Amino acid sequence: MNQQLQNLSMVHSAVDNDFKFSDEELILRFQQGDEQSYIELVNRYRDRLINFIYRFVNDVESAEDIVQDALLKVYTHKHYYKNIAKFSTWLYTIAGNLAKTELRKKKTRKVTNLSQMGPEDKDYELTSNEPATDKAALNEYLEKRIQIAINKLPLHFKTIIILREIQELSYEEISKIVDVPLGTVKSRINRARLQLQKELKDIKIGDSI
Amino acid sequence: MNRYQFEDSISAYLDNELSIADRKIFEEYMNVNIDAKSLVNEIQLTIESTKNFKNIKTSKEFMPNLFKRIEFEKNRPSKKIIDKPSSTLFGFTPFYAILMSALVISFIYIGINFWPETILMDNSKQLFTGDIKAPTLDLDDLNTKTQSTVLVSKEAKNDSSDTTIINKKNLRLNNKVKFVKDQK
């Protein structure tokens, strides 16, 4: 069966898929037994999810494990999805809950992640195939500083900032994922942005660029 | 517009959700206050910087590992809780059966003790201080073995409509009740 799944994933990557099913159509087909639909969904969301989770846990390996947990849950609990909300809403809700659980576990373990250190310390460097330029180095520096500031935010602000600014989801979708009214989402975004700026007060982004 | 209103409107301004009139007021405030303008610019630049964050990609082992986990999940034997069959009494273990029985018995005992006395009162108990018993309605039932002290005359016995026969001799009401006939 494992080999079958791998064969399906290879077939999928080889075929030029001009006709794309929507996410909701794919999950429906998967619920009816089409495993290739599941693989298509995995391929669509795995990179988006790892970027989302990484912003919570700041560790690529942990983020990858959590993404696998989320996708495994989709596989084992496929029938829990009802076509009332978007599939992405359901998936982000699962992934977000797993990320928050991991954060809580980390707090109790009190493990200091090297990537949470400031730029003056040695920290995790994101691999890049592009040649290093001054601008790229500057962007990387800014990214780390912003990430540190995001990490200092309360969890409900952090979640909303990541979903809005990094994942670029709409307010309506964020409202469904975090399960708060639309007005509350907009209010939280505003306050989260203001608080993020307070954390970034020591550097002026305008001067750096 | 004050500073609080201004700060509350920053996101709406940046997301182009303000009405034309509100936008005008916002921009006027911004132009007058340098700090306010600086704050809006910084927030805008931070948002743009987040768009330039590097995209992290999953590793090459991601899919094989995921498939392994799916396979493991499929083939995992279902968790069976094998309990030693224990003797139960109506679904209760012996200990809980004894406990429940004791509770039920104690509730019944307490209930009986707190039951109103009037309900438990014996019928032979007299309501009045006198020896008068409640007159029997069944005039034909004059068994001498009964405890009733009602004396019924032959005429009354024949008169089935008269149901208020009282033995005046045994009537002791302590002057609480006086019959109309007795009042002079």
- pLDDT, tens digit, 9 for 90 and up, residues A48-87: 999 999 999 999 999 999 999 999 999 999 999 988 889 9
pLDDT of A68 reads 96
Q: What is the pLDDT of residues B23-53, one digit of tens each?
A: 999 999 999 999 999 999 999 999 999 988 8
Taking the CA atoms of residue A27, residue A33, residue A37 and residue A38 in that order, the dihedral angle to the nearest 10 degrees is 80
- A75 vs B contacts (CB less than 8 Å): 70, 73
For B:18-47, CB contacts with A below 8 A are 39, 41-43, 45-47
CA max distance for chain A: 57
Nearest to A71 among B8, B51, B66 (CB): B66
Distances, alpha carbon A86 to alpha carbons A89, A177, A184, B3, B89, in Å: 5, 10, 20, 38, 51
Residue B160's pLDDT is what? 55
CB neighbour class for A127 (10 Å; exposed up to 12, middle 13-18, buried from 19): exposed
Phi, psi dihedrals of residue B132, rounded to the nearest 5°: -75, 135
Amino acid identity of residue B146, one-letter, is T
Which parts of chain A register pLDDT below 70?
Answer: 1-19, 110-133, 202-209
Output the six-digit token pair for A23: 């996410």
pLDDT at position B93: 83
pTM for the whole structure: 0.63
Contact list, A54 vs chain B (CB under 8 Å): 56
Type of residue found at B12: A
